[in-house]
Amino acid sequence: MEPVLVAQALNALYGIASLAILALGLAVVLGLLGVLNLAHGELVMIGAYCAYVVQAQGWPYLYAVPLALVVCGVLGYVVERWLVRPLYQRPFDTLVVTWGLSLLLRKCAEAMFGLGYKSLTEPIGGTVEVLGATYPRYRLMLIVVSVLVLGALVLWYGRSRTGTRIKAMAGNPELARALGIPVRRYASATFVVGTCLAGLAGVMIAPLAPVQPFMGLDHILMSFFVLVVGGLGSVGGLLTGSAVIGGSNSIVSALSDGTGGYFCVLLLAIVFLWLRPRGIHARS
């Protein structure tokens, strides 16, 4: 195969994988708990700042993973316990509260790190040769890790007892509680998993994107549009949504400019809202 084509294919794959991993946490929380966590982007931002701190301290980059998981996990637990739990019956208010939380986290990041951009160096430098094309090693690894994380989550959710119980909780919380499933604890755990995935995504993309307090806004919108297009409840939907949103954004951006790409994505989301309000791979 032509090396140029291979490089393009890898780029596309990278775009889809990174968008999917960014949207994954949002999809988990929205799909299973019905909560649209508008602070999702800010949790990605916190994950990225964890990576920045680790690199600034001169520690090995992998230390950022446990750090981000702990910070985002604790934050997720606290947020679920005191902000989201009282509002499970009022989905619209959860949106407003998590939106307020996103402001708060942004202002906190601003107070701690300032408004400026932080750029990180890629922890794994250099390139590898794939079918004749040279490709950055870190991006390739990011694709592999995204696939592994997605695969592991799907396998665990589909096969484990806990996965089945969570399905029961998502389907009918009242009945699940009557059956003795600790719904509160599972809801809390699900939320924490969602925030941890956001943190992990933040660590992964930190070296490739400028890290700054406002970075979350773009990520939450793109992730949300991925879910609008792809629908909730399946990995296929997540990947299709990522491909459609990421693909149209980068193609139109290349043809015109970033604003055009953004406009195109927004338009696409509105069109999907009309034609396929439950996404391409809607769960029946």
Partner 1 sequence: MRAASAAVLALLLLPFAVGDFWAYQLGLLYLYAIAALGIGLCWGRTGFLPLGQGTFFGLAAYLSGLALIELDGSAWLIVLLPLAACASGLLAFLIGVLVFRRRGESGPYFSMITLALSLLAYQVANNWESVTGGFNGLKGIPGLPGLDSYTAAYEVAAVALAVSAFGIAWLYRAPLGVLWAALAHNERRVVLFGFDGNRLKAVAFGVSGLLAGIGGALYAPQQGLVTPQLCGFGLSADLVIWAAVGGRFRLLGPVLGAVLIGALTSGLRDRFQFWEIGIAIVFIAVVLLFPQGLIGIFAPLERRLGRRPAPAAGIAAPARRDPGGAAKLLVEGVHVRVGEVTILDGLSLALERPGIYCVIGPNGAGKTSTFNMLSGELAAQAGRVSFDGRPLARLATHRIVRLGIGRKFQIPSVFPALSIADNVAIALWSARATRLDLLRPRLRRWTSPVFEALVARYPFLADAGRTAAELSHGERQILELSMALLGEPRLLLLDEPCAGLSPQETAQVIAVIRWASERRGATVVVIEHDMSLVRELADHVFVLHNGSLLAEGTVSEIQGNVAVKAIYVGAEK
User: Can you give the binding site for partner 1, defined by CB under 8 A?
Assistant: 36, 83, 86-87, 91-93, 95-97, 99-101, 103-104, 107-108, 110-111, 214, 217-218, 221, 224-225, 228, 257-259, 262-263, 265-266, 269-270, 273-274, 277, 284
130/3 Cα distance (integer angstroms): 8
Closer to partner 1 by CB, 122 or 218: give it: 218
Partners of 129 in the β-ladder? 134
User: How near is the Cβ of 196 to partner 1 at its closest, in Å?
Assistant: 22
3-state secondary structure of 36: coil
Beta carbon of residue 61, minimum distance to partner 1 (angstroms, whole number): 30
For residue 232 the two structure tokens come to 């909730």
Q: Which is nearer to partner 1, 143 or 264 (CB)?
A: 264
Backbone torsions φ then ψ of 182, nearest 5 degrees: -70, 80
**In the complex, what is the shortest distance from the CB of residue 284 to partner 1, in angstroms, rounded to a whole number?**
4
How far lies 217's CA from each of 43, 101, 272, in Å?
11, 13, 21
> What's the min distance (Å) between Cβ of 277 and partner 1?
6
Structure tokens belonging to residue 277: 């309000």
For partner 1, the closer CB: 97 or 196 = 97
Nearest Cα residue to 19 out of 39, 44, 2: 44
What is the C-alpha to C-alpha distance for residues 82 and 48, in angstroms, rounded to an integer? Answer: 25
Whichever of 89 and 121 has its CB closer to partner 1, that residue is: 89
Quick one: 63 or 99, whose CB is closer to partner 1? 99
CB 79 within 8 A of CB 39: yes
Please identify, using beta-carbon distances, which residue of 144 and 267 lies nearer to partner 1: 267
- Smallest distance from partner 1 to CB 267, Å: 10
Residue 106 beta carbon to partner 1: minimum distance, rounded to whole angstroms: 8
Q: With the C-alpha atoms ordered 149, 154, 156, 162, is the resulting torsion angle positive or negative? A: positive
**Shortest distance, CB of residue 266 to partner 1, whole angstroms?**
5
Distances (CA, A) of 141 to 126, 147, 203, 238: 12, 10, 13, 20
Cα 185 off chain centre by = 22
- Our CB check for partner 1 shows the closer of 107 and 159 to be 107
